[in-house]
Chain A
Amino acid sequence: MRNNLLNYGDTKTWRIKFLRILVSPWFSRLFLWLAPLLFLSIFFFYPLTKILTLTFDLETFTDPNNLRITQHATRFTFYQATLSTILTFALGLPSAILFSRFDFHGKSLLRALTAVPFMLPTVVVAAAFNSLFSYKVTGSMLQVFNLQPSTLNFLLILTAHVFYNTTIVIRIVGNALSQLGPRIEASARILGADTFRTWRHITLPLLRPSLLAAALLVFMFDFTSFGVILLLGGSNFATLEVEIYIRALQLPNLNLAAFLSVIQLIFTLIFSILYTRTINQVQTQTAPRFSTARPPKTIKEKIFVATLTLLLSSFFFLPLVSLPVRSLTRLEPDRGQRDQVQYGFTTDYYEELFINRRGSLFYVPPVQAAVNSLGFAGITVLLSLALGYPAAYALAKPTRLEKFLDPFLMLPLGASTVMMGLGFILSFGRLIASPFFIPIAHTLIALPFVIRTLQPALASIPERLRQAASTLGASPFRVWQTVDFPILSRATLSAATFAFTVSLGEFGATLLITRPEYPTIPITISRFLSQPGGLNYGQAMAMATLLMLLTTLSILLIEKLRFNNAGEF
């Protein structure tokens, strides 16, 4: 026996009590929640409360005009979100089956490809869509189908939403499908159920929690959609978020903006509660995953795989590849022949990125913009992991407290960035010019993703392993170091990459802060796009290509190291 086993005599009971408090669930939970809640309170709830208390006014409710605007925006928000969700499922569900049930060439690349849009900044996606659907194409579409331009815009919005969010369905439902395993379905088959009835009575009911969770998340993202609607929607489409932006900044009516924000927050909270309830029913197992995928065998299966692969690759690949292509193409009307556009390969735009033609103070060498972006992304990763880890630990074994707090962690995803930006100014004044606020704003957005990635992985570590390590002589820290950390390393990496790409793409955080220096890649892109001229456009495309490459590499990394059973949300 080692000599630290001493008898402390009288102090014993006191020490035991203290020790028990230290290891009591109550105390450790409080300790875990401290940092994340403090962060959210200071940088989310405090500014939010501040702006809302200043501007929220129940009298807004009595103005019929305000009510009309609110009603209209709410109705349209629900309408487009519902349609978008349905369409996303129409593509996502077959894709989930494709990825979880079949093996085929280029599967992991295609899977990664579907995930890239989710992380791309709206400007880039809009540019990608635009450079792909050159207006010559859409123009003839308008004529062929006899569509109103606004209908086309609406279709574009829906398409972009599908483009963004299909990956959520693939991930959540696909993971659930892989865990279901073929055995249950096989038993149903043997008992005489045909394919359809097997799905109807066995697979679908078992998938229900994951279907619901995916639907809620997709719906929530579509519900708060901002950039896509603004950039692709034109004048007629105002979601709540867009209406808030307009009422807060363009047609100043802060009371109405606050009123709309509160409505959006309430809905987001409701969805978050529903989502956290359902996602906890989505099983995460520790058993090593057996592969349920196999190459397609029957003709029907082959047709399914071939068609869907083709559809997915064209839907995701074409817009993404159009950016780099565009950034390397010279496209000018030839002076000699009218209406003849000359295409040619050029690296001019990339070279121009390195030249400060006008000696501008705001010129950013691309390397510098990339370094700034990467730097902020790095800090965001550290910060969101430092805050996400304890929260995920607490959530891994949820008590009533966690069940209550869980939905609030998702809330930053649904808070209007415009109002948050104003709240920041009210709360922090000149301090928001500090470069620290950039990663803080990014962390606010990244944190829900990080927690959602770490939590299932953490929950899946059997307590046995920690107990085994403990009896083998590992101190609590050593247990974390030798058991939790290595097992979580892949989930950690994928959480880190999420935070990283969220920060790279800025995800709407631009409105949150004012930045005196340190421009990032998305900032540079929008700066190029703010002035006319072929070089500006080309350079924007070149910068967007750079950003897309960085994002794609990160996503490929996630895919490579994806924790077997960890969902990403």
Chain B
Amino acid sequence: MLEVRNLIKSYEGKPLLRDISFSVSQGETICLLGASGSGKSTILKMIAGLEFPESGDILFNNIDLAQTPPHLRDFGLVFQDYGLFPHLNVFDNVAFGLRMQRIKHKGHEGEIARRVHEMMELVNLTSFESRNVTDLSGGEQQRVALARALAPQPQLLMFDEPLGALDRSLKEDLLNELRGILRQTNIPAIYVTHDQEEAFAIADRILVLHDGIIIRDAAPHEIWKDPQSAFVAKLLGIGNVVEGEVIAKNKIKTAFGILSLDCVKNVGENIQLLVQQIPSPAGEGRGGEVIEEIQLTVEDVFFKQDQFQVKGRGVVLSESKDGLLIHMKDAPRVGDVIRVKVQVKCLV
């Protein structure tokens, strides 16, 4: 449906997006994930027609959108700060898009009211129609913004960090609702965020933006299994990234001991490894991953969710800065040396 080809855009003379291509198909929700300032929002604005790419094409159903002004694109956009019209009440905010489609709804205030009502039901705000938007809480405002974007039945929905300003529990609730709504309406969606939890929770596909290009484009479980690069692993908080030095063809020296692993690197080169704890009791390696047992000195212990988080430092090179975060059922004492089974992967 939506196809983005070779977008290039610079910001204040510096290249921001160097070559962006991706596509979204019907009913699919993709998630653009990247650090702040990486140009995620700019991509959305270009798709919405609010900004122009320096070069590259944006096609929808194989039609080039270059000459279509934003108001004729029929895309919905939900902002982080909601962008609700402060001078209109909830009903009029939601009805705004419907009223703009003059031909479709001319003289059909009843039709509009019905549709608004339907939207309000969808976002669980049925009794709010006559309220003032400035009196609503953040979560309520974002629901209104969502209803407003959905009401005109857009061809594509875009979310620009929509939950960024909300607190944790509200975020989870809204994410679940949003997932339901997107599935129900079957509208393709692009969701921009820097929060990996949101990304994993909502996306059919995750696109990681780094340094002006998309460095990873895959389904969440694939990325989790194989982040491929240290950047993606760190950004998504997958396992621990550990520095190592190749000392022989399949030996890599780290702060946590020498690991047997062949990363196709020359001796003497530095390398980053992904170290993931294997759920205890240590099982077999799945599909060729290397299972290792490492030792570490406990530095800090704290309780999180249903187990203890243990922060440990390597016993081999204790001056190394690398720390490892693992979780255990029982709390060790600070200073203990513990052994943990991990699986290790090479990263680029």
Residues of A whose CB lies within 8 Å of any CB of B are: 1-2, 4-8, 12, 15-16, 19-20, 23, 288, 462, 464-465, 467-476, 478-479, 482-483, 486-487
Contacts and interface: CB of A to CB of B under 8 A. Distances in A.
Contacts of B45: 467
Contacts of A473: 71-72, 74, 97, 100-101, 152
B50 interface: yes
Interface in B69-103: 69-77, 79, 81, 83-88, 96-97, 100-101
Contacts of B69: 470, 475-476
A8 B66 CA distance: 10
Contact of A471 (B61, B66, B76): B76
A472 B66 contact: no
9 contacts: A2-B74, A8-B67, A12-B64, A462-B83, A471-B76, A471-B77, A478-B100, A483-B85, A486-B88
Nearest to A467: B50
Given A1-B155, A475-B69, A479-B71, 7 more contacts: A1-B61, A12-B64, A288-B86, A468-B77, A473-B72, A473-B101, A482-B96
Interface residues of B, number: 39
B50 A470 contact: yes
Contacts of B52: 20, 23
B74 A464 contact: no
B48 A467 contact: yes
Contacts of A23: 52
The secondary structure that dominates the A interface is helix
Given A1-B155, A5-B68, A474-B71, A468 B83 contact: yes
Nearest to A475: B71
A471 B96 contact: no
A475 B69 CA distance: 8
Contacts of B263: none
Given A5-B72, A20-B52, A472-B148, A464 B81 contact: yes
Nearest to B158: A471
Contacts of B64: 7, 12
Contacts of A7: 63-64
B10 interface: no
From B60, B63, B70, B76, residue with most partner A Cβ within 10 Å: B70
B68 A467 contact: no
Given A473-B71, A473-B74, A473-B101, A465 B83 contact: yes
A15 B97 contact: no
A544 to B, nearest CB: 39
B87 A487 contact: yes
B152 A5 contact: no
Of B61, B76, B84, B96, chain A has the most CB atoms within 10 Å of the CB of B96
B63 A1 contact: yes
B111 to A, nearest CB: 16
B75 A471 contact: yes
A462 B134 CA distance: 15
B347 interface: no
Interface in B258-300: none
Q: Enumerate the 8 nearest inter-chain pairs by beta-carbon distance, A residue then B residue, closest first.
A: A472-B97, A473-B100, A464-B83, A468-B83, A470-B70, A471-B77, A486-B87, A5-B63
A305 to B, nearest CB: 30
Contacts of A12: 64, 66-67
B342 to A, nearest CB: 46
A15 B155 CA distance: 25
Contact of B70 (A5, A288, A465, A471): A471
Contacts of A15: 67
Nearest to B100: A473
A474 B49 CA distance: 13
Contacts of B155: 1
Nearest to B76: A471
Chain B CB within 10 Å, residue with most, of A6, A468, A487: A468
B346 to A, nearest CB: 43
B166 interface: no
Contacts of A464: 79, 81, 83
